[in-house]
Amino acid sequence: MDVPAPLVRGAALLRCPVCSAPLELHERSLVCDQRHTYDISRHGHVTLARAPAPGDDAAMVAARAAVFDAGHYAPLTAALARAATSAASDGDAATATDDETLEGGAAAGGDAAGGGEAARGDAATATGDEAQAGEAAAAGDVPQPGEATASRDEARSGQAGAGDDAARPDEATASGDAARPGQAAAGGAAAGPGAASVVLDIGAGTGHHLAGVLEARPGALGIALDTSRPALRLAARAHPDIAAVVGDVWEALPLQDGVVDLALVVFAPRNGGEIARVLRPGGTALVVIPTPEHLAELAHLHAVQVDPEKPERLERTLGAHLQHTGTEAVRWTMQLSQQDVEHVIRMSPAGAHRGEAEAHAATVTGSVELRTYRSPDVGGGG
């Protein structure tokens, strides 16, 4: 069985969760120089965690797939794609400006710009990510050992529901000489916007949102990180450019320093120091949190409420490592059938708190804040 092409492309970006050494691909395993070995599963994902939490189970992932296959969160997926395009465009503009400044300085002063390396900024403000329905209110954003990473994505339209363990027979494969993300295109010129970029989705779930971003950034490599194996079985085939990795955000992320251009964190735990470490200088993080209005019409069906202090906690956990460059309110309306309502409740941690009240068809509000953060142009981590 061949290794999925995205894992071939991304292997050099990953690191050992035990000793933090770089990983290399050997047949169907990733191996570090200390001989710690991680086999690639027949479903296309690889586990890079000491002891990952179980994550969302198959029933939760199946409910999520049903909700998003019905298009109820389509406005958020589209907003994420627009945000990703904006991030890539802003980064290209910043790089062009820096190059022009360097060239002008060399011409005027007659010498090369030693130490005046052009900023590689992929900095960007982003428009709307998307919300994961009914996120449980966390007690705090500081990672707690053993706490599960929240899966937040959805299955792409037409995907099989969670629990579909069969690997796709037409899964993309690649040989070991596949181009590494970040390499220049043939001929020495960089490819177009996003062509060599790396997008990390933390709490990626089934990879639906990441797939939408990759459609907007052709040629980019997506890395879907989650603790849920049922979700990642779908993520591994959600898009031809997604590498699926089982990992725990409460641990050190299994990526090398400064290799990520764009990080997505939508209703998932936020490990600010680790996000800053893996972002390249000038990289962007898009973080989505719910407002108190999110799914308010369904509040009587469960006991979970949105923490009103979540924005302040987010600033404490990320603001110490990354620059907050903007916030956008994203709202939409969903027309849900009785079955849809049950799926929306059960696709998230709120399902564990489902009350006795009967569900009915309803018009339901989606309401989130999309916050954009940027890594400093010089010096990457936090």
Q: How far apart are CA 313 and CA 86, in angstroms?
A: 26
Q: In the predicted model, what is the mean pLDDT of residues 138-161?
A: 35
- Residues in contact with 287: Cβ distance below 8 Å, sequence separation at least 6, in sequence order: 129, 265, 266, 270, 314, 318, 370, 371, 372, 373
pLDDT tens digits along 62-86: 999 899 889 998 889 888 888 888 8
Which amino acid is residue 27, in one-letter code? E
Q: How many CB atoms lie within 10 A of CB 169?
A: 5
The phi, psi pair for 262, rounded to 5°, reads -140, 125
Q: What is the mean pLDDT of the segment spanning 41-68?
A: 89
- Cα(134)–Cα(348) distance, rounded to whole angstroms? 6
Among 72-81, 125-134, 337-346, the range with the most confident prediction by mean pLDDT is 337-346
pLDDT tens column, 306-321: 767 777 878 888 888 9
Q: Helix or strand or coil: residue 379?
A: coil
- What confidence tens digit (pLDDT) does each residue in 332-341 have? 999 999 999 9
> Residue 172 above 50 pLDDT?
no
In this predicted model, which residue has the larger pLDDT, 343 or 108? 343
Distance in angstroms (rounded) separating the CA atoms of residues 37 and 59: 31
- Nearest Cα neighbor of 348 from 303, 287, 292, 291 is 303
pLDDT reading at 37 higher than 50: yes
What's the whole-number average pLDDT of the chain? Answer: 75
Separation between Cα atoms, residue 330 and residue 76, nearest integer Å:
8
The confidence score (pLDDT) of residue 50 equals: 85
% residues pLDDT > 90 (the chain)? 45
Q: Which domains does the chain have, with CATH numbers?
A: 51-108+118-165+191-374 (3.40.50.150)
pLDDT at 137 over 90: no
* Cβ 84 vs Cβ 127: under 8 Å: no
**pLDDT exceeds 70 at position 330:** yes
Question: Using the 8-state DSSP alphabet, how is residue 298 labeled?
Answer: G
DSSP secondary-structure letter at 133? T
CA gap 319, 342 in Å, rounded: 36
- Split at pLDDT 50, 70, 90, the class of 92 is low
Candidates 187, 179, 369; CA nearest to 289 is: 369
Q: Please, are residues 289 and 310 in contact by the beta-carbon 8 Å criterion?
A: yes
Run of H or E including 242: strand 242-246
What's the average model confidence in pLDDT over 206-222?
A: 92
Q: What is the pLDDT of residue 155?
A: 34
- Averaged pLDDT, 346-373: 85
pLDDT at residue 25 tops 90: yes
243 band by pLDDT with thresholds 50, 70 and 90: very high
pLDDT recorded at residue 349: 74
**CA neighbor of 331 nearest in space, from 305, 287, 300, 369:** 369
